[in-house]
A = this chain, B = another copy of it.
Amino acid sequence: MKNRIIFFVSDRTAITAETLGNTLMTQFESVKQERHVIPFIDTEKRALEVRDRINKVSANSEERPIVFSTFTDDKLREIISLSDCLFYDLFNDYITRMEADLSQESSHVAGKSHGLVDRNSYESRIRAVNYALVNDDGARLDHYEMADVILVGVSRTGKTPTSLYLALQYGIFPANFPITDGDLDNTQLPKAIKPFKDKLFGLTIAADQLSRIREERRPGSPYASLRTCQREISQVEEIFQLEKVPYLNVTSISIEEIAAQIRLTRDLDDKQF
């Protein structure tokens, strides 16, 4: 197997380079990868140091390193591009095309997307996280008017991490509420969330998966047993179907996919902090 060293380099956070670069590399799975993120390369001196580092790595590797970059500054990009590497700048190619298509010059300002954002958006996300923490696991019942979405499901189906992801990534205000024995046995939604039916989104999961996750928390407990998990999952799915609550089985998908599905279903796709 070929071993490739991969660099994500940018004048700001390198998040965009890392995101798209990782996506692209998943298409070449047989390439064994070692990854390095190099953010904040915003002076020529730093860029030259990175070029030296890449060249050294290249001299010691069988294969040329791969560099994914997103530079708004032409000079910095050029310095890195002259390293001994396979070089992909994920920015310049498009900017040039877009300037032509939009008949408009780009502003060439670095780091607009993940840096130096206006303070309001930072605070909106912090507020959303605080909201998520305060409204976790049915802890409060008097704030649901403010919720963008209320996640429901039995214990340990990923409600909390999903809430936090929605808050941090998109500034969405998420609450979450557990569905527990009494309601499961009566095949009904908890009273507290019934008035907010159009905000609900259900999470469910394969019973064996749930059992394994619960075992980590309370080993050997009835709570973690496969039988309990099977019963609870079957009951909660019946409630979701009866009450027409949209829901998603999260067994083999990522937090990003869960979040994308929730945004789509609850029409939050244009919520931008």
List residues of A whose CB falls within 8 A of some B CB.
12-16, 19-20, 22-24, 26-31, 34-40, 70, 72, 86, 88, 90-91, 93-95, 97-98, 101-102, 104, 106-109, 111-117, 119, 121-123, 125-126, 129, 133, 158, 160-161, 164-165, 168, 209, 213, 252-257, 259-261, 263-264, 269-270, 272
CB-defined contacts of A26 to chain B, threshold 8 Å: 107, 109, 112-113
**What would 14 A/B residue contacts be, using CB atoms closer than 8 Å?**
A14-B260, A15-B19, A15-B260, A16-B19, A16-B23, A27-B107, A28-B106, A34-B270, A35-B272, A37-B270, A86-B101, A116-B253, A122-B253, A129-B164
Nearest Cβ in chain B — how far from A249, in angstroms?
Answer: 13
Starting from the known contacts A16-B20, A122-B255, A161-B168, 5 additional A-B residue pairs (CB-CB under 8 Å) come to: A23-B113, A35-B270, A88-B98, A116-B252, A116-B254
Q: How many copies does the complex hold?
A: 2
Once the chains bind, are A104 and B28 in contact (CB under 8 Å)? yes
Given contacts A40-B261, A122-B254, is CB(A23)–CB(B101) below 8 Å? no
